[in-house]
Amino acid sequence: MWTKSPKYRTSKMTIALFVLWSIYMHAQKAPTQKIEHVVVIGFDGLSPDGLKNADTPTFDKLIAEGASTMHARAVLPTSSSSNWASMIMGAGTEQHGITSNAWERDNFTLPAVTQSEEFLFPTIFKLVDTNFPNKEVGAIYHWGGFGRLFEKSAVDYDVNPESEDETAKVASEYIRSKKAKFTFVHFDHVDHAGHEYGHGTPHYYESVEKSDELLKEVMNAIEAAGISDRTLVIISADHGGLGKGHGGESLQEVEIPFIVWGPSVKKGHTILHPVYQYDNAATVAFALGLEIPHAWIGKPVKSAFKGFISNDVYPTLIQLQQPSILPKSEGYKKAGGLFNEKAEVIIENPNTEGETRYTTDGSFPTKSSERYLKPFQLTENSVVKSAIFKEGKIRSMVSEAYFRFNPKDTPKPVQYEVFYLEGLKFVPELKNKKADVSGHSFEIASDEIKDKIKANTAVRFTSQIQINEADTYTFFTRSDDGSKLFIDGELVVDNDGDHGVKENGGQMKLESGAHKLEVLWFNGGGDGWLDVFIESGKMAKQILPSSMLKK
């Protein structure tokens, strides 16, 4: 019987593989063929929590008709400039160099790794304009600071309206009249509500509901322009928030929504793999059939489109909600507090599943840690950590609470001096200045004197720290804006600059006895925050307890 030779079988297999590859490549390109326009709509400070708890029928409709994730991640720091830059530049702060809101083209620390204009990393605006020189490109942005982040030469329509309502009106008219190839719309009012009232407050949710109305207005304009069947819409945010601020590293600040709607987009699809801030620009480029610059690190979110399957073996890990330790944290204020003699600890599991385990010595909770069954009492300085476990595995973030104790009638060991100044960007020199307000507090923290803090306020805290055992100690300041910590006149922690809540630390070997402690802190604007932590080889990291301080 005649049989095919190995060479013939190999040739036929090669042809078959080529045919399959051709079909595959055709499927890979097909999703973008109907997309002629892209509109990116960004809401400053919009968190997944906001979409979950506010009444948002327009957002809900686009999620149902498109692809989305509520677990996309912003870049660090979670400041506006850094994240809007990453969104349009397809890169992180390490590449584009916009590391804070203080960045300007003539005032920066880290230069961009490459440039399209002087001192500016290439953006999606430049990429679209270069590839479609005869097509319209527009930017309508409520926050004026956004205007310094892109190449002016690449944009045909560049408008900074005064309000969110005017922004929606201008953007809608532009879309109807110009039918631009690429339009970027920025709304700033949600972030304002977060700063003024706090994230998760009724006022914050009201601002999210206002966003829904504005989004509907823009979507109606796309429909009225007759281009909805050829327009891809991407909706996202620069960051979330915690309390009245952002800039830190919590999930509340880092997680953002990412919604894709339009032709060739899967309907009602949940994006399971990780999505990052810089993937936004790459997705725009992919949708318009553009080659992504090598300098970009963002990847297009292809799994949002029909014909694309994500086989990623590392999907986004969806955590259970972490337990709440009472007294609860509020904004940047840690759970726990300062007590006289004893404190009752209550731990709540906000989930309908899992078991709660905890430690009281600052160690990381494990499946072998004490299981929480009922409230318990503490009588000495303790760091409580707790997490939710399921089937022997940790399934939530770890909650922390700091309990500190002072005997009743103990005098306040910290002196504070408050200075009202102008234009603060760094910790100012205070030696020859007279304080506007002074007094005493139990701890070196902003919370005790929050009623005295406003924009452009500097504070000097002084005390004596009592060291009972010689050791190398690590000190941390967690502040918004900058702070510095000195011991015996020597700078130990430098956390200076105009930034959101950020922690920085430094070490010093200390002999037993009393040492002069000084902390300088400033709040340039907004709410502001400061607390101080201490750690050693024999002491868990904890808020610096007032029991270690004396006048």
Q: Where are the alpha helices (DSSP H) in 271-341?
A: 279-287
d(CA 34, CA 30): 8
∠ CA 39-26-19, nearest 5°, is 170
d(CA 303, CA 311): 9
For residue 442, give both structure tokens.
Answer: 């139990």
pLDDT of residue 8: 46
Q: Are strands 269-270 and 67-73 parallel, antiparallel or unpaired?
A: parallel
pLDDT of residue 32: 56
First CA to last CA across the chain, in angstroms?
103
d(CA 77, CA 90): 16
Domains and CATH numbers, the chain: 34-304 (3.40.720.10), 324-405 (2.60.40), 414-550 (3.90.182.10)
The amino acid at 83 = N
Q: Where are the alpha helices (DSSP H) in 371-516?
A: none
The three-class DSSP label of residue 504 is strand
pLDDT of residue 33: 66
∠ CA 89-480-203, nearest 5°, is 80
∠ CA 417-422-428, nearest 5°, is 55
- Residue 39's nearest CA partner among 261, 192, 275 is 261
pLDDT of residue 31: 52
DSSP class of residue 268? T
pLDDT of residue 509: 97
d(CA 136, CA 530): 47
Q: Are 444 and 404 in contact (CB under 8 A)?
A: no
Would you write out the chain's pLDDT as a tens digit for each of its 551 residues? 344 455 444 455 554 444 444 444 444 454 556 999 999 999 999 999 999 999 999 999 999 999 999 999 999 999 999 999 999 999 999 999 999 998 999 988 999 999 999 999 999 999 999 999 999 999 999 999 999 999 999 999 999 999 999 999 999 999 999 999 999 999 999 999 999 999 999 999 999 999 999 999 999 999 999 999 999 999 999 999 998 888 888 899 999 999 999 999 999 999 999 999 999 999 999 999 999 999 999 999 999 999 998 888 899 988 899 999 999 998 889 999 999 999 999 999 999 999 999 999 999 999 999 999 999 999 999 999 999 999 999 999 999 999 999 988 889 999 999 999 999 999 999 998 999 999 999 999 999 999 999 999 999 999 999 999 999 999 999 999 999 999 999 999 999 998 888 899 999 999 999 999 999 999 998 889 999 999 999 999 999 999 999 98
DSSP class of residue 74? P
Q: Please give the sequence-ordered ranges of beta strands (E in DSSP) within 76-199, or none if there are none.
A: 137-141, 157-159, 182-187
pLDDT of residue 248: 86
- Residue 40's nearest CA partner among 237, 188, 212 is 237
For residue 136, give both structure tokens.
Answer: 């319209």
Q: Are 157 and 201 in contact (CB under 8 A)?
A: no
d(CA 255, CA 241): 9
For residue 338, give both structure tokens.
Answer: 């300062």
How are strands ordered across the β-sheet holding 471-480? 502-510, 471-480, 529-536, 539-543
- Its sign, for the CA torsion 118, 120, 122, 126, is negative
- Residue 381's nearest CA partner among 335, 333, 334, 342 is 342
Please list the helix, strand and coil fractions of the chain in percent, rounded to the nearest 5, in that order.
25, 30, 40
Task: Scan for tokens 């309508």, then name that residue.
Answer: 140
DSSP class of residue 152? G
Length, in residues, of the chain: 551
Cβ of 61: how many Cβ atoms within 10 Å? 15
Residues with Cβ within 8 Å of 125's Cβ and at least 6 positions away in sequence, in order, are 88, 137, 139, 150, 151, 154, 155, 182, 184
d(CA 385, CA 395): 14
On the CB side of 507, CA atoms within 13 Å amount to 7
Decide: residue 419, CB within 10 A, 0-12 exposed, 13-18 middle, 19+ buried. Answer: buried
